[in-house]
Amino acid sequence: MSTHREALRYVARGWPVLPVWPVVQGEGSAWRCSCAAGAACTEPGKHPRGRRGVLGATLNAAAIDRHWPELAARDGVEPSVAIATGGALVVIDLDAPALGLESWERLCEARGERVETVTVKTPRGRHLYFDASRIGRVGCSVGKLGPGIDVRGERGYVLAPPSRHASGRSYWWEIYDFPGAELAEHTAPLAPLPLWVAELAQRSTRAAAVRVEGGAPLDVGGRNDGLMRLACSLRARGLEEVELRAALDDANATRCTEPLPAREVARIARGVARRYRSGMSPAALLEAARVELSAELSTAQQGRYDFKADPSWYLHEPPVPADPEAVRRG
């Protein structure tokens, strides 16, 4: 299969392409980069052929028809082809050896979603192609969604079929059973990029740092309390609602023996972010919640409810008013 022909197909779909130094077989059948560094190249078969890098990506079919054969004649082998990401195209890169596939499945399960789209099988995992036209600009990130999950957005690129990896294996299209999948990979519709993926991808490194802090497992009966306390701690550091949601989603998936429903986690994050100002200490946040709860519960209700035993209750459930008739009166 010709990378020249495939490059033209990608351009016809509206995906800018750029030539990449291919790998070639050297001594002992080992694969090496065809660039001047040869076997000493630190990114064999992955770095752009032109000096402008990804900025040299083009949608000009005439330029491709002119330059691609020139490069092939000069190097003795066709260049590999890469697709520039950004704008309406975002690619999720799942690295299997780094647990990327498992991390992605866990994220989707925590949200009760089955996310399928046009997919490339890579020698190390998968590339998931998404339509981000309704999301806006999404930057590149490494590991923010989870171990082994990278996002290729603005000023990023991915190697595309039929390019060859440094292992000697090639990239190829693998389309799953979803609406439109019966079409060829060049015309099959991309699934819209889920909003939660964009939010996670663009969260600050402050929230990403939560993942490495770990923590004790949260059993049934202590999940709400544990996640609320975590949210208060992070709110004290200045995290906003989207960042809180991302951190709590991660903790819910990794620390809860039985994860809470996604909507429950969202209510906890929303409650902490909207009720308490950024930068308050965790102790002050808890005390503020206790004071607000005490003011809205009757004396009898306060006696029946141990706030300290489950301080998260007030943050994600509507408080019980002292005067029920006040609710009816509005």
121-134 pLDDT, tens digit each: 999 999 999 999 98
d(C-alpha 66, C-alpha 72), whole Å: 11
Residues pairing with 93 in the sheet: 127, 150
> Which of 24-28, 46-50, 57-61 is predicted most confidently?
57-61
Cβ(121)–Cβ(174) under 8 Å? yes
| Number of residues in the chain | 330
How far apart are the C-alpha atoms of 101 and 143, rounded to whole Å?
12
φ, ψ for residue 17 (rounded to 5)? -125, 160
- pLDDT value at residue 327: 31
How far apart, in Å, are the Cα atoms of 139 and each of 5, 91, 99, 200, 265?
A: 29, 11, 22, 11, 26
| Percent of residues, the chain, with pLDDT higher than 70 | 76
The C-alpha atoms of residue 315 and residue 313 are separated, in whole angstroms, by: 6
Paired strand residues for 128: 92, 119
Q: Read off the pLDDT of residues 209-230 as tens digits, 9 standing for 90 and up.
A: 444 345 678 887 788 888 888 8
Sequence ranges of the domains in the chain: 3-83, 89-194, 203-316
125, 100 Cβ separation under 8 angstroms:
yes
CB 235 within 8 A of CB 273: yes
- In the 8-state DSSP scheme, what is residue 181? T
